[in-house]
Amino acid sequence: MAIDKDWHAIHPMPAKATLDERVRWHVAHAKACGCRAIPATVVRELERRGRRVPPRRGAATRGE
């Protein structure tokens, strides 16, 4: 999927982001842009927290 430059311009990753900030940013990014996959470290943290890993915007899901 192509990068959503407008979304990225409005939602920069905070400098020296904490794990909580990274998790929030990547979840929002997957829903809004999805130009790349969520990093494994963030996926593991979402799973550790019992949260669903959102599919990337525009990514095919199972059964489609």
Please answer whether residues 42 and 23 qualify as being in contact, where contact means their C-beta atoms are separated by less than 8 angstroms. yes
User: Has residue 63 got a pLDDT over 80?
Assistant: no
User: Has residue 20 got a pLDDT over 70?
Assistant: yes
Per-residue model confidence (pLDDT) at position 58: 66
Q: How far apart are CA 63 and CA 59, in angstroms?
A: 12
Q: What is the largest CA-CA distance in the chain?
A: 38
pTM above 0.85, yes or no: no
Using one digit for the tens of pLDDT, what is the confidence trace for 7-19?
A: 999 999 999 999 9
Q: Show me where the domains of the chain are located.
A: 17-53
Task: Say how many CA atoms lie within 13 Å of 3 toward its Cβ.
Answer: 5
Per-residue model confidence (pLDDT) at position 39: 95
